[in-house]
Homo-oligomer: A and B are copies of this chain.
Amino acid sequence: MTPERLYLFDTTLRDGQQTQGVQFSATEKAQIARALDALGVDYIEGGWPGANPTDSEFFRAAPQTRATLTAFGMTARIGRSAQNDDVLAAVLDAQTPAVCLVGKTHDFHVTTALGATLDENLAAISASIAHTVAKGRETLFDAEHFFDGYRANPAYALACLKAAHTAGARWIVLCDTNGGTLPEEVGRITAEVIAAGIPGSHLGIHCHDDTGNAVANSLAAVLAGARQIQGTLNGLGERCGNANLTTLIPTLLLKEPFASRLHTGVTPQALAGLTRTSRLLDDILNRVPLRSAPYVGASAFAHKAGLHASAILKDPSTYEHIDPGLVGNARLIPMSNQAGQSNLRARLSAAGIEVAPGDPRLARILDSIKEREDQGYAYDGAQASFELLARRELDLCPEFFEVKRYRVTVERRKNKYNQMVSLSEAVVVVKLGDKKVMSVSDSMDETGHDRGPVNALAKALAKDLGPYQAAIDDMKLVDFKVRITQGGTEATTRVIIDSEDGQGHRWSTVGVSPNIVDASFEALLDAITWKLIRDQGQPVPR
């Protein structure tokens, strides 16, 4: 049996933009479109040309993609002809090969939201689809509120689909706009639509996650015969988000009954880039990646339970449903005071440190982790600081330099132009071997703006580290996360710093203190020390 083609339609740039807190620039949209294209989706919905300046700007200079670039819009407004609707004209003006028009299919919405008669809406659907088809565009019809509409008035909802189909729409997309429909009903209604005469090869499914079933609903529609899935990367989207393509793609490629019966445009090589693509989107949006995300989350293959971790060491398939490498993810044995010594040895080994089973220092490391986690430290997400802690217990942590003291001042006042300006200044005293070095720095950047006390401290510290200067020159701080947490009985501050070097390697360190500057400085020192160990191994003898 030849596998049937299943089409993937991505709407990260349109419906994903409705996520609370998300605001793409046109440049970011182009960057995401290129990543989607490399992943192998079939359609990229870029936005609604004419609805806002960003979307119009994106379409004016859209990247060349193998995927079919699609402009979103809506059926002509009641009382205007499709030819004379300026909103629809703006959509066509984007000159995309495909156009996706949303229209009403739920009688209640036609009368309440549009204030139109049922026949007027049917006529608007027919005329709008016929118009875009006549303009040579591959046309999709997004049947808004279809499942609610079908429950309320199945004959009318089907009549809307048939109007679009007859007018020449390539795809009729069944939308669960409010996200309230459950998988069994999505499967049953999709099958009924096919039985009513719209072929599955022309049917798409568009789900939202308001009951946590967007993925399952999409799969149910495909099992019933639909051959296009609409969704977004990382499940972005209005309210609870859209069907998560980052989750659906590996399921469709790796799991039965989908893997052998269907094929998509995503290759195994592209699938291995899925975790990276997911992180890229979070980077662009400056969102903390969801650790528990299926397939691509940092915890998706993390084995915290001691029994699981020891079985994994015998055979990974004991507690992993797929090989994490297939989606570009990796196994993780997180460190925490839940973990046993076998976890710890596995994680040390991953850092290149071999310790024999039963070595008494393993228990000391576990105790030390427990004690520091009680103070507010978190080593699950700060691998480099964990490694340094273990090295200190194992006497494998050389002291490259010692910070004797520091002082940092932030001052905010009016300048001579009567503007409020800030100035940060730091003094750091470091002992390098038997030499004491005192360095001072402000935190002014090239544009004359003050970057704050942590930056001033980092610059003062990095100003003269003698023989280690070269090794830290390509380091930069790429993320800085602060949480108020509980340390003993007192609220304290936990800072996690992500650093990156010139080769794009990233590492995370943690600092804890009630004083945010102290906590930051501690994480900063760990970040530098970790890099010196990696690059130099040992202090320069003097």
- The reply to whether the CB of A413 lies closer than 8 angstroms to some CB of chain B is yes
Q: A265-273, A475-483, A530-538: which one contacts chain B?
A: A475-483
**Which residue in B240, B332, B447, B486 is a CB contact (below 8 Å) of A300?**
B240
In angstroms, Cα B295 to Cα A113, docked, is: 24
Interface size on A, residues (CB 8 A): 116
- Interfacial residues of chain A within 412-433, with CB under 8 A of chain B in the complex: 412-414, 422, 424
- Interfacial residues of chain A within 198-248, with CB under 8 A of chain B in the complex: 209-213, 215-217, 219-220, 223, 235, 238-241, 244, 247-248
Q: Is the CB of A338 within 8 A of B302?
A: no
**Which residue in B247, B297, B338, B380 is a CB contact (below 8 Å) of A17?**
B338
Using Cβ atoms and an 8 Å threshold, which residues of chain B touch A302?
Answer: 20, 238-239
- Interfacial residues of chain A within 299-316, with CB under 8 A of chain B in the complex: 299-305, 308, 311, 314-315
- The reply to whether the CB of A119 lies closer than 8 angstroms to some CB of chain B is no
Chain B residue at minimum C-beta to C-beta distance from A449: B514
Contact with B along A17-52 (1 / 0, CB 8 A): 111110100000000000000000000000000001
Q: Is the CB of B424 within 8 A of A515?
A: yes
- The reply to whether the CB of A373 lies closer than 8 angstroms to some CB of chain B is yes
Using Cβ atoms and an 8 Å threshold, which residues of chain B touch A291?
Answer: 20-21
In angstroms, Cα B247 to Cα A93, docked, is: 43
**Which residue in B20, B182, B304 is a CB contact (below 8 Å) of A18?**
B304
Q: Is the CB of B178 within 8 A of A410?
A: no
Q: Is the CB of B318 within 8 A of A515?
A: no
Q: Is the CB of B452 within 8 A of A52?
A: no
A109 to chain B, nearest CB (A): 6
- The reply to whether the CB of A251 lies closer than 8 angstroms to some CB of chain B is yes
Contact with B along A307-337 (1 / 0, CB 8 A): 0100100110011111000000000101011
**Which residue in B216, B248, B381, B413 is a CB contact (below 8 Å) of A21?**
B381
Given the contacts A240-B297, A409-B408, A517-B452, A292 and B216 also touching, CB distance less than 8 Å = no
- Interfacial residues of chain A within 368-408, with CB under 8 A of chain B in the complex: 373, 378, 380-381, 404-408
Q: Is the CB of B453 within 8 A of A516?
A: yes
- The reply to whether the CB of A474 lies closer than 8 angstroms to some CB of chain B is no
Q: Is the CB of A23 within 8 A of B321?
A: no
- The reply to whether the CB of A103 lies closer than 8 angstroms to some CB of chain B is no
User: Other than the known A23-B373, A409-B410, what 11 A-B pairs have Cβ atoms closer than 8 Å?
Assistant: A19-B299, A20-B302, A20-B336, A113-B318, A238-B305, A240-B293, A240-B300, A412-B521, A422-B517, A424-B517, A452-B493
**Complex A-B, nearest 5 residue pairs according to Cβ-Cβ distance, in ascending order:** A180-B321, A216-B216, A452-B515, A405-B413, A482-B482
